[in-house]
Amino acid sequence: MKTSTTSLTHNRRVFMMQAVVGCAAVGTALQVKAQAMLAETDAQAVALGYKADATKVDKTKQPKYAAGQMCTNCALFQGAAKAAAGGCPLFAGKQVAGKGWCSAWAKKG
């Protein structure tokens, strides 16, 4: 079977355009997912006593809390040390506030 050069060039061009659009769509979807912030009203957040601002933790309800504890200095925090927000394996697909706190806080090693 004989294939023309024009047909191959056209197919390659179409493939490349589709690949670029596909990669852009995946990148956008991942970025949107990564940007979802955890709400204090989320069921998992309520169960763990999560507060987006650690200074607002009710110490009578959360006796484990100590001043200075926050997500950025927790072993579970997946963001940079001074990041405003970052991932946490306890709240998959959502970011926690860097200045937040929950009862699962563990000192960073």
Greater confidence (59 vs 18) lies with 59
Please enumerate, as own/partner, the contacts of 20-28 that have beta carbons within 8 Å and a separation of 24 or more.
none
Q: What CATH number did the domain enclosing 46 receive?
A: 4.10.490.10
Q: Do 56 and 31 reside in the same domain of the chain? A: no
Q: Which range marks the domain in which residue 4 is found? A: 1-35
Q: Tokens 């809390």 — which residue?
A: 65
Is 0.85 surpassed by the pTM of this model? no
pLDDT in tens, 75-98: 999 999 999 999 999 999 999 999
Q: Do 52 and 85 reside in the same domain of the chain? A: yes
Q: Which of 23-27, 31-35, 102-106 has the lowest mean pLDDT?
A: 23-27
pLDDT category of residue 74 using cuts at 50, 70 and 90: very high
Greater confidence (30 vs 83) lies with 83
> How far is Cα 98 from Cα 104, in angstroms, rounded to an integer?
15
> How far is Cα 77 from Cα 85, in angstroms, rounded to an integer?
9
Q: Do 49 and 96 reside in the same domain of the chain? A: yes
> How far is Cα 30 from Cα 42, in angstroms, rounded to an integer?
21
Q: Give backbone dihedrals phi and psi of 38, rounded to 5 degrees, phi first.
A: -75, 130
Three-state secondary structure string covering 70-86: CHHHECCCCCCCCCCEE
Average pLDDT over the chain, rounded to whole? 84
How many percent of the chain have pLDDT more than 70? 68
In residues, how long is the chain?
109
Is the pLDDT at 10 greater than 70, yes or no? no
Is the pLDDT at 15 greater than 80, yes or no? no
Give the total number of structural domains in the chain.
Answer: 2
